[in-house]
Amino acid sequence: MLNQFTLIGRIARQPSLQTTREGISYTRFTLAVRRHFKNQAGQYDTDFVQLISWNKVAERIADFCSKGSLVSVNGRIQMRSFEVEKEKRLTVPDVVAENVTFLQMKKMTDGTPSHEKVPIPSPPLPSSEEESPSN
């Protein structure tokens, strides 16, 4: 069995680092993910996915991401239950971000965040040995 997802999208609002009563760091953030197909009006719809990250991943998101940052997220779905009324429990899914790859990071310039694209390496050029056939 497999419980895993991958999403690529932009952070919809400024993430903030929070701490539980036990001292564990976490960040709740929303990822705007564009669908890969057009609707009947010829437009791309966007899904806003609520995620949570813990510990070092949460700290890195708060440190290096801002609203509009482009990220790739890998994680899992985890069910959480809590009591809403006496003898009444509610179960909701948590979308847990376990690994976040920064595709676009925030950069501080004069105290104002701006975005800097992370360069994607191009494939290596073939060497002269690979270009000429062997005899």
pLDDT digits (tens, 9 = 90+) for 108-128: 444 554 444 444 444 555 554
Residue 133 scores a pLDDT above 80: no
Q: What is the pLDDT of residue 84?
A: 83
Rounded Cα distance between 97 and 29, Å, is 10
| pLDDT confidence of residue 125 | 54
Radius of gyration of the chain (CA): 20
Q: Give the SS3 label for residue 18.
A: strand
**Whole-model pTM above 0.75?**
no
53-107 pLDDT per residue, tens = 999 999 999 999 999 999 999 999 999 998 888 888 899 999 999 999 999 765 5
**Token reading at 3:** 């419980």
Phi-psi region of 21 (alpha: psi -120 to 50; beta: other; left: phi over 0): alpha
Distance CA 67, CA 29 (A): 10
pLDDT value at 2 more than 70: yes
